[in-house]
Amino acid sequence: MPPHFKHIIASDGYRLFARHWQPSEQPRGFVVALHGIQSHSGWYEFSSGRLCEAGYDVLFLDRRGSGRNFSRRGDVSHGDRLINDVVQVLSDVRRHRDRVAPTAPVVLLAVSWGGKLAAITAARRPELVDALALLYPGLCARVQPTAWQRARLNLARRLDVRHKRVEVPLNDPALFTAEPRWQEFIRNDPLALREVTSGFLLAHQDLTSESLTAAPQIHCPTLLMLAGRDQIIDNEATKGWASRLGTRELTLCEYPDAQHTLEFEPQPERFVADLLAWLDSRRV
């Protein structure tokens, strides 16, 4: 099922691109989805289409400066600006939900780096999130900056250097998937984010610190999906983070042979079926 393309005007006037999958019947639930640092909503058309076919309204936002958002590419003024975008979209979706399907849950779903934004939003604004789905979330990463890189970033913070371009340290498609056709897709994707600014990295640093302490403030039902052969995410540290959640309703799904991006596995239907089963369990 193909999406509709739409634009959302953020509170500061930035024009945010999104893909929107709308079911033909009254939605069973509403999913607001966030992508990773390098990806965009176009990477997740299979799973989003399947959720829509099952009756869920899916709004997949391209993060500002990413995907089809070309203004200030790879840049952001501060971490709260990204959180504000998520809060605005969730608030709009909830208002729409209240009109068309008042009992349907609003679920915040995030993959990889987007997990930082989702965890912080769920902790800060619990009234906006009925349930949280974290797919291989970028909360505890294997890929860490070197001491030299940390020193340079600290200097950039002190000197307020925010526009230096830095390569995203995930430019090997094999980190995301072992499937050759998807590696080729990532390698040639013109919308993938290859560079960010030092300002984005400073925001990343702040968001990482807050997301790591957010778990006790998250009280909604939470789904955690992990890829067993993930070279980007530290799964054991992530499970340790999840053990500190403020909710007792934690569902853990692990895929031992998967490599980070579940969407690009040989049989993505498996994780989609598990995701749908969990979503159905959230319905009133």
User: What residue spans define the domains of the chain?
Assistant: 4-282
Long-range interactions of 253-258: CB distance < 8 A, separation 24+: 253/223, 253/224, 253/225, 253/226, 253/278, 254/225, 254/226, 254/228, 255/225, 255/226, 255/227, 255/228, 256/228, 256/229, 257/228, 257/229, 258/227, 258/228, 258/229, 258/230
pLDDT, the chain, mean: 95
pLDDT for 284 beyond 60: no
**240 pLDDT more than 70:** yes
Instruction: Determine the Cα–Cα distance for residues 231 and 169; give it in Å rounded to an integer.
Output: 12
CATH superfamily, with its number, for domain 4-282: Alpha/Beta hydrolase fold, catalytic domain (3.40.50.1820)
CA-based max dimension of the chain? 55
169 or 263, which is more confident? 263
pLDDT band at 283 (very low <50, low <70, confident <90, very high): low
Q: What is the pLDDT of residues 176-232, one digit of tens each?
A: 999 999 999 999 999 999 999 999 999 999 999 999 999 999 999 999 999 999 999
pLDDT above 90 as % of the chain = 90
Q: Which residues contact 74 (CB under 8 A, 6 or more apart)?
A: 65, 66, 165, 193, 195, 196, 197, 200
Supply the pLDDT for residue 68.
98
| For residues 121-126, average pLDDT | 98
> What is the C-alpha R_g of the chain?
18
Residue 173 pLDDT exceeds 90: yes
When pLDDT is averaged across residues 16-35 and rounded to a whole number, the result is 97
Say whether 50 sits in a helix, a strand or coil: helix
What's the pLDDT at 73? 97
What distances in angstroms separate CA 88 from CA 65, 92, 95, one per listed residue?
17, 6, 11
Q: What is the pTM of this model?
A: 0.96
Examine the pLDDT at 40 and tell me if it is beyond 90.
yes
